[in-house]
Amino acid sequence: MILTSPGAEAFSIFGLTVYRYGIIMAFAILIGAYAADWAYRKYFLVNENNDLLLDLMPWLIIVGFAGARIYYCILNYHYYLAHPLSILNVREGGLSIHGTLLACIIFLIVYAKKKGIKLFNLTAPLVLGLALAQSIGRWGNFFNSEAFGKPLESGFIKLFIPEALRPLQYRQFEYFHPAFLYESILDFGIFLILLLAVKKKKNSLFITSLYFALYALVRILVESIRVDSIANFYGIPVAVIVSVIILIAALWGIFQSRLD
């Protein structure tokens, strides 16, 4: 089976191009927010405030989006120092989930402390929705012909990448590992595991830590075959380094949850 993107552009309205990536991301956020709100209302309700998480969503989306962009620009600072106005041009692409996670965690820590709420009662339902949103959102990379792996000449599923979008050293190859698809499937698996943990009434620290541990493992695995990582440090993708740090912290969180 050969996967071929129909192109990044979906349609135009009054001369403004609407991209498939944006449509997919909007849908992913909507579904992820619904899943998180459902889990919160059913399992993690704080002070009988049914709408607490729903009221938080717009802020989390804004903070997460800003964090994703800032993180990406920092990793590519050479380009953005020379082209500072491009920082605001998000239509050209350039977002990172690790930036989203960092920004939202900082925001939630401050918010939970200010409101006197247990932090993990917020993060547990959120990571459930996040895993589902990530699974859907990865298909945005498919339409952009990005987040692909090493060349793949044979296999049950392979991804065609237009020549103009291939790294220079791989211009002679047409087909690549659909890394976006691998991560999409694995992220959905994380969602199912978290859903099972939620239904078994595991504590909120355990659920939160479990998400971070599983996602860190997924990123380490997927990054090992990707050829278009955002940035590298001494030949190692920065995403792998960050994921290892996240994994260590998450394993500590799982251990601590067992002591509660």
Q: What is the pLDDT of residues 205-215, one digit of tens each?
A: 999 999 999 99
Could you tell me if residue 166 is left (phi over 0), alpha (psi between -120 and 50 degrees) or otherwise beta?
beta
Q: What does the pLDDT average to over 55-82?
A: 88
At 145, which amino acid appears? S
At residue 119, the pLDDT reads 93
| Residue 236 DSSP SS3 | strand
> Does pLDDT of 1 surpass 90?
no
CB atoms < 10 A from the CB of 100, how many?
22
- Rounded CA gap, 216 and 250, in Å? 9
At residue 91, the pLDDT reads 65
Q: What does the pLDDT average to over 72-100?
A: 79
64: which residues sit within 8 A by CB, 6+ positions away?
Answer: 100, 103, 104
- Rounded CA gap, 230 and 94, in Å? 9
Residue 122 near residue 205 (C-beta atoms within 8 A): no
Phi, psi of 18 (to 5 degrees): -105, 125
Instruction: Name the residue with higher pLDDT: 154 or 26.
Output: 26
At residue 237, the pLDDT reads 86
Mean per-residue pLDDT over the chain, rounded: 90
Tokens matching residue 14: 């009054």
Q: What does the pLDDT average to over 61-83?
A: 86
- Rounded CA gap, 226 and 141, in Å? 13
> Does pLDDT of 111 surpass 90?
yes
Model confidence at 13, pLDDT cuts 50, 70, 90, reads confident
Nearest-10 Cα torsion for 82, 85, 86, 91: 180
Q: What does the pLDDT average to over 114-121?
A: 90
Residue 133 near residue 29 (C-beta atoms within 8 A): yes
At residue 77, the pLDDT reads 77
Instruction: Name the residue with higher pLDDT: 171 or 83.
Output: 171
At residue 173, the pLDDT reads 92
At residue 35, the pLDDT reads 96
At residue 260, the pLDDT reads 64
Q: Give the residue among 229, 57, 222 at the shortest CA–CA distance from 133.
A: 57
| Residue 221 DSSP SS3 | helix
Range in 51-65, 90-104, 116-130, 164-178 the model is least confident about: 90-104
Tokens matching residue 170: 């791989």
